[in-house]
Amino acid sequence: MSSSQRNFKAKPYRCFECSKRFSRPNALTQHTDRVHVVPLALRRLQAEDNAKANQPPEVARGTPSSTNSPPAPALETSPSRSPIITPPRTPDNQHQRQSPGQRNRPSPRSPIFSPRRTAAQDQAFKPATRIEYHPLLDGSPCDAEGYDYHGLPPRVSGQDEEDSSAACYPFSTPTEFEFADFIYLKTEMSASNIDELSQLLAELYPDKEPTFADHRELYALIDSIPEGSIAWDSFSITYDGEKPTDTPIPPWVTQSFEVWFRDPLKVLENQIANPDFNGKIDYAPKRVFRNGKRQYGDLKSGNWAWRQADILGKNEDNHGAMFASVVLGSDKTTVSVATGQNDFYPLYASLGNVHNSVRRSHQNAVALVGFLAIPKTGQDYADDPKFRKFRRQLFHTSLKHILSSLEPYMETPRVTKCSDGHFRRVIYGIGPYIADYPEQALLACIVQGWCPKCTAPADNLDDAALHHKHVYRSHQHTDDVCTPFSLREVWDDWGIVGDIIPFTAYFPRADIHELISPDLLHQLIKGTFKDHLLDWIVQYINDNHSKADAKRILADIDRRIAVTPPFPGLRRFYEGRGFKQWTGDDSKGLMKVLLPAIAGHVPDKMVETVRIFLEFAYLVRRSVITEDDLRHLDTLIDLFHQSREIFRDVGVREDGFSLPRQHSMVHYRHLIQEFGAPNGLCSSITESKHIKAVKRPYRRSSRNKPLGQMLVTNQRTDKILAMRVKLRQRFQQRATRLPQIPASPSIPPPVPTDPGNEGVDSDAVDEPASMGEIKLAKRAVPRRARNVFDVAHETNQPQLPDRVRQYLYNFMTNGTSQSSQEIDLDVCPDISNLKIHTYPSARAVFFAPSDISGIEGMRAERIRAVEKWQGDRPRYDCVFIGNSDEPGFRGYLIARVFLFFDFKWQQKVHPCALVQWYSTFGDEPCPETGMWLVQPDFIRGGQPSLDVIHLDSIFRAAHLIGYSGKHFIPLQGFDYTQSLDYFKTFYVNKYADHHAHEIAS
């Protein structure tokens, strides 16, 4: 073995909660206590106090942006750079910039410098909420026979008594199962590669019996897993209407259409009993109040679930039962451009009782329950009214048949085991349906162009004068209209397809018009933003400028987008918005950076229109929506309808704004009150499920009649996931010793070429809900000097030693000075022998449930300060620094981090950051963009105003976008990694993510 190689050392201790491995038992214990036990304890405490809520503390809440702000400043360059864009600052704007002294700098002994993850802070983090549960259908536990307990129900043991070998059946050990899981599910290894791997393992370890001999034996083992076994079934539907006699019979008339499905009752019972959902299921409808005001979050916090319980509660036999709603979703998807069967029609089901965070995080809370038929015909019969009617009725008949197993238990309870181990009497009901607009029109049996929720006419959807005359659609309204009028009349005058019976008509308490849920992805992001506002802006530029000027303006907008500084989780547009195929992620990413790009190139009223829409879209995307937010939504809708008239005035929308997806905004207030926060019912959830349930299984198939192979793949996947849950419950909080792997030569670890590229920039983390924390990277920058003066020379930061001395003086004197730069260096301690470690980044963890986050709403992001990032590019990120308890942006300062480091002083380790301060321009945000403006601070000689601050004062990363105004970005010599150096004035981008929108407003 060469000296560069190391012996492999197995990590024998495994956490069965998250499958992480550790070398020492105490490391496993610390991990379990911190990540898994603490969340359970917090949930238990919150449940006892009836105080669990998904809202961050008041200090993190945003306030509506004011429209009274100073004129936007001109763009300048940093004094340390040669000028590229050099319009002078006007005297009117110069006095409006706040000097560094106007906003107090945090001192190192202020509260924000204390450790942010304390028990007192976590306790104070819990909002003072009151939860009112339904008094009749309260989900009371019962015994296995359905009888109520007299007194308290018995305590349920969380551990199974079976031995390890029985728990792992059909595998011998947990490691054998993990090996099969790794091969089949995590790496999706092909059958031929599995056979080759089996042969290699047999040759490497001839004395050990292999777990499986080939892929057939592996598949047989997976198929033998008893958990998660829900068989696929099918039925066929054929046309039974009147057939033509004098013409050739169309092929679709005699064709049989096959539908594959799984019993939704068994699927929902598996979700109800899933131990992973313990503490994340609402067993009763609830009303959440904070400070006396109603809040809407999970589905069970809305009025619809409470109203359903009121209806069921009229029957005394249902008292104490649990109301379980099934959330459905369907959407066609294409998996390949190749010939053959490449489009599928999956149907998904989810238990409406699980919290929105669980459904969004895809913790097995969304299950594939069927593949609907896609009837096709030739061009000769595509427009045949009989074929269109058959296609619609086929859809509704299929749903009716698939859901038929639930119907007996929609009025009579069924005893079911729940995730907490108790039994409850469960009554099912059809819940909200997730679908895009074409699917909504099909579900509601309406004509394309009409609203599926109300009777507003298709040619005048948003006429305010007629809005009070519109009524919500319902089965009863459809029957009342169809009875006296002909099918043609109800089609033309009411937009109703009168000869189709919706599937909800066959189930109690179900009305499809009531159950259509809001769809953030297709109605707001892809619809109103991308297909409407963005296209209208491009059309305005092309219509109101010469061809050359329009091309120049659009190219500059693309350059502004391309030079946007990097930010954790931000999609990068290297060529601007000019790409051929749009995805939902593209639209979401462009929403975050569009406003600064168009400001100055289009009328201010257009910029304001986009800003108002973004305010609406970000507000309805929050995980908790309050009564105050609902009133603000009403204001935003009125302002949006007024401001969008600019597009009619300039001739872009001469035909008006009767657009169903845009019209849906007027229904969001009502739908939020009915079903809670829309982010738990968005079609992005089902589209993400397409990848796991349809596209990956298709790629693993032979492409020859792939559906059958895809069904088998999905069934095996469900078995593996169910086995994972079982083993986690069986071995959780146990330091299970794994078999040692014999030491063997291993390849040397790769030398990191980029110390700052440590993992992903942002990610969801399963940590307990708290104020959060920030930590330096795990490894220091290699091969860097340790002496503080040598580090200052290597990093080209000559102010570093002086700022460290002033920081230490401030620390030793309990932070008596508000600005460390005011401290006389003669009174500061000597640090000539101080040794420091420098780090490429820091990891901030904070509560952001409205973004991609863990079950408890925690999110992590990487803040970088490196000389070379992704090759040779420097990256020095900006941050929010807590300054006061004022709401919104007024409670924060902006700074740019140039160095992360720590050192030991007086037996205490000080994690610190060297930052440059930014001062706010004006007292209000920009009226057009709604974003605050800041400028970097400089001291004598044009040097940046730097300070050393304690790491705990940093809250999270901040995203700044350069202000361009009416100036054009240079064609050459301007890179996105240099934006923070070339611009002098910046927008604080509150649209970078939803958490930033709350704190930077």
Domain check: are 700 and 656 in the same one? no
Residue-wise pLDDT for 138-154, tens only, equals 999 999 998 988 777 77
Nearest to 979 by CA among 900, 861, 877: 877
User: Does residue 675 contact residue 299 with C-beta atoms inside 8 Å?
Assistant: yes
Q: Output the pLDDT for position 272.
A: 96
Average pLDDT over residues 833-843: 93
Tokens 């029985």 belong to 166
Give yes or no for residue 901 having a pLDDT over 70.
yes
Do residue 217 and residue 251 come from a single domain?
Answer: no
Q: Which residues pair with 847 in a beta bridge?
A: 858
Handedness of CA 158, 160, 161, 164 (dihedral sign): negative
* pLDDT of 932 strictly over 70: yes
Tokens 């569009």 sit at which residue?
Answer: 594
Note whether residue 181 is domain-resident. Answer: yes
- With beta carbons less than 8 A apart as the criterion, state whether 911 and 932 touch: no
Interval 503-537: pLDDT, tens: 999 999 999 999 999 999 999 999 999 999 999 99
Domain-embedded: residue 805: yes
Cα distance between residue 744 and residue 1, in whole Å: 10
Position 636 pLDDT exceeds 80: yes
CB atoms within 10 A of CB 753: 9
Domain-embedded: residue 186: yes
Between residues 822 and 658, the one the model is more confident about = 658
Q: In this predicted structure, what is the pLDDT of residue 338?
A: 56
**Count of beta carbons in the 10 Å neighbourhood of residue 108:** 26
What integer pLDDT is reported at residue 619 of this predicted model?
A: 95
The better pLDDT of the pair 607, 850 is held by 607
Q: Are 176 and 735 in contact (CB under 8 A)?
A: no
* Residue in the structure block whose two tokens are 């085991």: 417
Three-class secondary structure assignment of 882-909 = ECCCCCHHHHEEEEEEEEEEEEEECCEE
Residue that the structure tokens 């069965």 belong to: 16
Going by their DSSP bridges, the two strands 946-950 and 954-958 should be labelled as: unpaired
Residue type, 946: L
| pLDDT on residue 675 | 97
Mean pLDDT of 721-726: 88
Between 651 and 941, the more confident residue is 651
- In this structure, the answer to whether residues 799 and 941 fall within a common structural domain is yes
* Between 220 and 73, residue with greater pLDDT: 220
Lowest mean pLDDT among 68-77, 878-887, 923-932: 68-77
Q: Which amino acid is at 34?
A: R
Number of domains in the chain: 4
- Residue carrying the six token digits 């257009």: 606
β-pairing, 858-869 vs 841-847, is antiparallel
Residue 11 pLDDT grade (very low, low, confident, very high; cuts 50, 70, 90): low
Regarding whether 365 and 294 lie in a shared domain, the answer is yes
Scored b (16 or more CB within 10 A) or e, 916-945 reads bbbbbbbebbbbbbbbbbbbbbbeeeeebb
Q: Is 211 among the domain residues?
A: yes
- Of 272-281, 668-677, 936-945, which has the strongest mean pLDDT? 668-677
pLDDT over 90 at 956, yes or no? yes
Q: What are phi and psi of 377, to 5 degrees?
A: -150, 170
Sequence-separated (6 or more) residues with CB below 8 Å from residue 302: 296, 672, 673, 674, 675, 676
Whole-angstrom distance, CA of residue 682 vs CA of residue 523: 10
Domain assignment present for residue 849? The answer is yes
Residues 813 and 896 in one domain: yes
Residue 733: the pLDDT is 41
Q: Please confirm whether the linkage preceding 141 is cis (ω < 30° from 0).
A: no
Q: Do the bridges between strand 423-434 and strand 322-330 make them parallel or antiparallel, or are there none, so unpaired?
A: parallel
Whether 78 shows a pLDDT value over 50: the answer reads no
pLDDT at 28 over 80: no
Q: What tens digit of pLDDT does each residue of 340-368 get? A: 568 899 999 999 999 998 898 766 899 99
* Residues 394 and 329 placed together within one structural domain of the fold: yes
Give the integer Cα–Cα distance in Å for 913 and 152: 54
Tell me, what's the pLDDT at 764? 80
Indicate whether 825 and 931 sit together in one domain.
Answer: yes
| Distance, first Cα to last Cα, the chain | 60
CA neighbor of 365 nearest in space, from 855, 858, 857, 859: 855
Instruction: Say if residue 363 is in the same domain as residue 236.
Output: yes
What's the whole-model pTM score?
A: 0.85
Identify the residue with better confidence: 607 or 655: 607
Residues 308, 204 within the same domain: no
Average pLDDT over residues 658-672: 95
pLDDT more than 70, % of the chain:
80
Q: What is the mean pLDDT of residues 970-985?
A: 85
329 shares a domain with 294: yes
Instruction: Enter the DSSP assignment of 242.
Output: P
Q: CB-side exposure of 486: number of CA atoms within 13 Å?
A: 3
- Compute the average pLDDT of residues 94-102: 41
Residue 300 lies in a domain: yes
The last residue of one of the domains, among 195, 225, 255, is: 225
Kindly state the DSSP code that residue 724 receives in the 8-state scheme: H
Backbone phi, psi, residue 337, to 5°: -95, 0
Number of helices (H), then strands (E), belonging to the chain: the values are: 33, 30
Higher pLDDT, 520 or 872: 520
Whether the Cβ atoms of residue 960 and residue 986 lie closer than 8 Å to each other:
yes
Q: State yes or no: pLDDT of 604 exceeds 80.
A: yes
pLDDT of residue 57: 34
CB-based contact 695:199 (threshold 8 Å): no
Give whole-number Cα distances, 693 to 160, 187, 362, 718, in Å. Answer: 31, 16, 12, 10
406 and 277 in a common domain: yes
Q: What local confidence, expressed as pLDDT, does residue 173 receive?
A: 86
Q: Is the pLDDT at 849 greater than 80, yes or no?
A: yes
| Closest listed residue to residue 590, CA positions, set 572, 602, 604, 606 | 572
- Report the alpha-carbon angle 130-136-140, nearest 5: 85
**Residue 796 three-state SS:** coil
Euclidean distance between CA atoms 671 and 693, whole angstroms: 29
Q: How confident is the model at residue 740 (pLDDT cuts 50, 70, 90)?
A: very low
- Our CA dihedral for 831, 836, 839, 844, rounded to 10 degrees, sits at -70
Q: What is the pLDDT of residue 577?
A: 64
Checking if the pLDDT of 114 tops 80, the result is: no
At residue 912, the 3 state secondary structure works out as: strand
Integer Cα distance of 539 and 606 in angstroms: 12
pLDDT at 467: 60
pLDDT recorded at residue 337: 58
What are the tokens at 50? 């009836």
Give the Å distances, CA to CA, from 440 to 429, 434, 446, 477, 657. Answer: 19, 8, 9, 18, 20
| Reduced 3-state DSSP string for 679-714 | HHCCHHHHHHHHHHHHHHHHHHCCCCCHHHHHHHHH
Bridge partners of 334, per DSSP, are 343
Q: Which of 128-137, 455-464, 493-502, 710-719 has the lowest mean pLDDT?
A: 455-464
Is residue 197 within 8 A of residue 183, CB to CB? The reply is yes
The parent domain of residue 182 ranges over 170-225
CA 170 distance to own-chain centroid: 37
Examine the domain organization and report whether 780 and 715 are in the same domain: no
Amino acid at 834: L
Q: Can you give the pLDDT at residue 341?
A: 65
Identify the band that residue 44 occupies on the pLDDT scale cut at 50, 70 and 90: very low
**Percent of the chain's residues with pLDDT above 90:** 57
Q: What is the mean pLDDT of residues 641-659?
A: 92
Q: Does any domain span residue 74?
A: no
Confirm whether 538 is domain-assigned: yes
Averaged pLDDT score across all residues of the chain: 82
